[in-house]
A and B are shown apart, each in its own frame.
Chain A
Amino acid sequence: MPEYYGYAGRVLRIDLSREKYHIQPLEKELIAGYLGGRGFNSKRLMDEVPGGTDPLGPENRLMFATGPLVGTGFPTASRFNVSAKSPLTGILGDSNAGGHFSAEMKYAGYDQIILEGISKNLVYIFIDDDDVSLINAGHLSGMDVYETTKAVKEEIGDRSVQVCAVGPAAENGVKYAGVFANLMRAAARTGMGTVMAGKGVKAIAIRGSKSVEIAHPGKFERLVEKFEEDVYNHPQYWPRRIMGTTRILLPLNMGGFLPTRHFTTGVFEHAEEVSGEKLAKEYNVKTRACFSCILPCSRFWVIKKGRYRGKYGEGPEYEPLSAFTARVGNPDVEVALIANDMCNRLGLDVLSTAECISWAMECYERGWLTRDMADGLDLSWGNAETILTLIEKISKREGFGDILADGVKKASEKLGFGQEIALHVKGLEIIQADPRGLKGYGLGYAVASRGGDHLRSEPFFELSDDPERGKELFGIPETALRLEYKGKGKLVSFFEDWCAITDALEVCKNVGENMEVLPFDLAGEVMHAATGFKFTADEMRRAGERIVTVERLFLVREGIRRKDDTLPKRFLEEPMPEEAVNSAGSIFELEPMLNEYYTERDWDLETGVPSVSKLKTLGLDGYIEELKRFDVPLRE
C-alpha cells in the first residue's frame, strides 16, 4: 500500500553552493494545514527564509510546488507555484503557471523542489526521477526562453522532457523577470526568474516515470465526471475556449474601467480594434491546453500580412493584450502581439513591463521626462517603436531601460518625479482593471500578500449585479455591485481563501474559481477521493485562511503594516472621468473597506497584524515569539 495518495510524498532539496541534493519525505502536518502548492511554499518560506533576508543572497530559497491533484487527470490540475522572497518588492514573491512542468514534477516523484544557496557557475538542473545533475550552462547564457528550452531538450536528447527556463532579462538582473515553462507558461510576477538566475540557474529540466496513486478511484472518477460536466455545460465554456481571457476586454471597456493611457481614463476608443474578438477573427489559428485540461483556452496566432508578416506566437491573455494596447495608448493589435511575444522570449513580466513603459509615457506627456533623459526616445502615447525598443532595453538593462528594470517604484524614486503616479502596491505594478470601477478587486490589490495583484482574490461576484444573491450569500446586497464599497471586506476575504485553496490544489483558477465549479465542499470531496485525507468545506476554508494568514505573517515580519495596504493616490483622489460613463465619478473608498476587511479577518485595525487569538485558532501561535523578535505589535 503506498504511503501517500495524491501526493508524491517527497521533497527535493538542492544546495547549489555545495552542489549537493537530498530527498526528504513530505511532512504530513504540512498536508493537513496547507494542502499543497502555494500553501506548501508560503509556509516553508515563513519557516526557512529569515526576516530581513537579501532576496538575491544565498539564504533566500526558491521553491517550486505542485498540488495533490496534479498528475491525476483531474481537469485543469496542471499548475505549479514558484515562490521566494521577491527582489522586486522585498516581501513574499510568488507566481503560478500552467503547462506540463507540474505534472512531470509529480511523475518524477516530487511535491516540492527547493533551491538553496548560489551556484558558482551558471548551470541547468536535470532531474531524472531520483537522479539530479547540475550541468554547466555557460553556453546557454544570454539565450532567450525559447532558445534555452530547445537547447536543453536537444542536449538531453528527449523532446518530451519538461523544461522551465529564464531569459536574458533574469540573467541581467531585471527585477521583474519570470520563470517560463513550456516556452510561454509564465510564472512571471514578483521576479521569481530574477531569483532563479541570481542562484545561477538558467533552466530546470525534469523527467519522471512514476505514477500518482488515487485513494478512492471510484469516487474520484465520479467527481471528475461531475466536474467535467459542469465545465462543458458552463455558459463561459465556448467564449473562454475561443478567446481565453481576452474575451473581457470589450466588457471592461463598456464598464468604463479598462485602464487606458496609464489609468487616466477607463475607455479606449480603439477597443474594438484590439479586442479578443478581433484576434479570434483575424489572427488565431489553433488552441492549446495545459496538462489534463478540458478547456484549451490558449491560442496560437500568426500574422499573415503587413510589416510583421510571418511572426507567430502563443497567447496573449487579457492582461498583456490590454496592457500593450489601452494602457500604453497603442491602437495596433499587432504591436501588442509582438510586445507580448518579446516579453515571453526575453523572460519579462508583461504587467510590470507595461506599467514601467506607460508610467514613463505619462511622465513624458506631462513634461517631467524629456527625450534626453530617455535615450532620445519619443515617449508619446502609443508610439509602437518606443514600446518595442524599451522592452529590449529593459531586458538588457541598457540606458533608460536600466532605470525601468528595477520596477516603477524604484524608477520614480531614482528619477525624483512621478512617485504619485507610479501605479504599484508594495512595489508590485498593478494589473489591468481600474479599482475605481471594481471596488472589491481594488481592495484585493491593497491587501494581496504579493502586492498589487488580483489573482489572490478575484472577487468576481461583485460583477453579478445580483443584490438578492449578495444578501443570501454574504448578508450584504452591495457585495454584488461593483461600484459599492459596502461588504467588500467580507467578499474579498471569502475569495482570498477560495483562491488560496485553488492554488494549493494547483487547479486552474480560471476554471475552479472564476467559473465557480470548484467550491469549498467539492474541493474537500475531491481532496478526500484523491488523497484519503478528509476535509469538510469548513476545513478547506480554514486551510485557505491559514495560507493567507501565514503569508501575512511573512509580510508583517518584513515590516508591512496597515499604511502599506493602500492604493496609489490616483485611485483615492481622482474620480473616473465623465467619458468612462459606466464608472464616471467613482473614486476608491479605501479606509472603510480596510476596516471591514481587517474586522472580518480579525487583524488589528490600527496595525493590520493578525490577532493572537486568530493565530491560535489557526494553529499559527508558534510564530508569536518570532514576531516579537521583529517587534511586531501583537494584541489579543
Chain B
Amino acid sequence: MKFRVKFLGIPGIRLSYIEVEVEKPRVREVVDQLCKTFPEVFPSPSATFQRFLILVEDQKGKTTNIRLKNGSDTLLKENESLVIMPPLTGGRKKS
C-alpha cells in the first residue's frame, strides 16, 4: 500500500512530501521506510518517534497525533497520510 508522508520544517529535507510503499499499513512500517530513505535525518525508528511529532491526517485534513491513537502500532486507512515535523513543545528528552 502507498502512503503519503508530508514534511513540515524538517532541516535536511527540501521535499514537501514523499510517497512510501509498505506491506502493512502500520505507522512503524512507514517510519522504517523513511529511515531507509533519509538515514541522516531519521537515523532509527526509535529516535524518530522520540524526536519528531507524527500525525495521521485524513482526507479532510483532520490530524491526530499518533500518541492519541496506538503510537507506532497505529494502522493507517486508505487515503490517510502521515505528517512529520519537529516538536512544537519543549521536546526535551524525558528522563
Residues in A lying within 8 Å of B, measured CB to CB: 230, 233-236, 238-239, 241-243, 247-248, 250-251, 254-255, 272, 276-277, 281, 460-461, 463-467, 469, 514-517, 581-582
- Known contacts A466-B67, A582-B62; is-contact A461 B90 (Cβ 8 Å): yes
Least CB distance, A23 to chain B, in whole angstroms: 40
Report whether A582 and B86 are in contact in the complex, using a CB–CB cutoff of 8 Å: no
The closest CB in chain A to the CB of B66 belongs to A465
Least CB distance, B58 to chain A, in whole angstroms: 9
Query: For the complex, what is the distance from the CA of A251 to the CA of B57, rounded to whole Å?
Result: 13
For this complex, 7 residue pairs linking A to B, each with C-beta atoms less than 8 Å apart, are A247-B9, A247-B86, A254-B61, A464-B89, A514-B90, A517-B92, A582-B62
B35 contacts chain A at the CB level, 8 A cutoff: no
Report whether B83 and A235 are in contact in the complex, using a CB–CB cutoff of 8 Å: no
Report whether B68 and A236 are in contact in the complex, using a CB–CB cutoff of 8 Å: no
Within 8 A of A (CB), among B61-95: 61-63, 65, 67-68, 83, 85-94
* CB-contact partner of A254 in B8, B16, B51, under 8 A: B8
Instruction: List chain A residues, Cβ under 8 A from B91.
Output: 234-236, 515-516
Report whether B11 and A461 are in contact in the complex, using a CB–CB cutoff of 8 Å: no
Instruction: List chain B residues, Cβ under 8 A from A277.
Output: 9
Interface centre among A236, A242, A281 (most CB of B within 10 A): A236
Least CB distance, A93 to chain B, in whole angstroms: 29
Query: For the complex, what is the distance from the CA of A466 to the CA of B10, rounded to whole Å?
Result: 22
Report whether A465 and B92 are in contact in the complex, using a CB–CB cutoff of 8 Å: no
Query: For the complex, what is the distance from the CA of A242 to the CA of B14, rounded to whole Å?
Result: 13
Report whether A460 and B9 are in contact in the complex, using a CB–CB cutoff of 8 Å: no
Query: For the complex, what is the distance from the CA of A241 to the CA of B11, rounded to whole Å?
Result: 10
Report whether A235 and B11 are in contact in the complex, using a CB–CB cutoff of 8 Å: no
Query: For the complex, what is the distance from the CA of A276 to the CA of B9, rounded to whole Å?
Result: 8
- Known contacts A234-B91, A234-B92; is-contact A251 B85 (Cβ 8 Å): yes
Instruction: List chain B residues, Cβ under 8 A from A515.
Output: 90-92
Q: How many residues of B contact A (CB 8 A)?
A: 27
Query: For the complex, what is the distance from the CA of A408 to the CA of B10, rounded to whole Å?
Result: 37
Instruction: List chain A residues, Cβ under 8 A from B87.
Output: 235-236, 464
The closest CB in chain B to the CB of A256 belongs to B61
Instruction: List chain A residues, Cβ under 8 A from B12.
Output: 238
Instruction: List chain B residues, Cβ under 8 A from A276.
Output: 9
Instruction: List chain B residues, Cβ under 8 A from A255.
Output: 63
Contacts A250-B9, A516-B91 known; 20 new A-B pairs at CB < 8 A: A236-B87, A236-B91, A238-B12, A239-B10, A247-B9, A247-B86, A248-B88, A251-B9, A251-B88, A254-B61, A254-B83, A461-B90, A464-B89, A464-B90, A465-B65, A465-B68, A466-B67, A516-B92, A517-B92, A581-B62
Report whether A463 and B88 are in contact in the complex, using a CB–CB cutoff of 8 Å: yes
Query: For the complex, what is the distance from the CA of A582 to the CA of B64, rounded to whole Å?
Result: 9
Query: For the complex, what is the distance from the CA of A272 to the CA of B7, rounded to whole Å?
Result: 12
- Known contacts A236-B86, A243-B9, A465-B67; is-contact A581 B61 (Cβ 8 Å): yes
- Known contacts A238-B11, A243-B9; is-contact A581 B60 (Cβ 8 Å): yes
Instruction: List chain B residues, Cβ under 8 A from A281.
Output: 14
Instruction: List chain A residues, Cβ under 8 A from B92.
Output: 230, 234, 515-517
Least CB distance, B75 to chain A, in whole angstroms: 18
Query: For the complex, what is the distance from the CA of A247 to the CA of B60, rounded to whole Å?
Result: 23
Query: For the complex, what is the distance from the CA of A19 to the CA of B46, rounded to whole Å?
Result: 65
The closest CB in chain A to the CB of B67 belongs to A465
Report whether B86 and A235 are in contact in the complex, using a CB–CB cutoff of 8 Å: yes
Report whether A460 and B88 are in contact in the complex, using a CB–CB cutoff of 8 Å: yes
Instruction: List chain A residues, Cβ under 8 A from B61.
Output: 254, 581-582
Instruction: List chain A residues, Cβ under 8 A from B8.
Output: 250-251, 254
The closest CB in chain A to the CB of B47 belongs to A235
Instruction: List chain B residues, Cβ under 8 A from A465.
Output: 65, 67-68
Least CB distance, B18 to chain A, in whole angstroms: 16
The closest CB in chain A to the CB of B51 belongs to A235
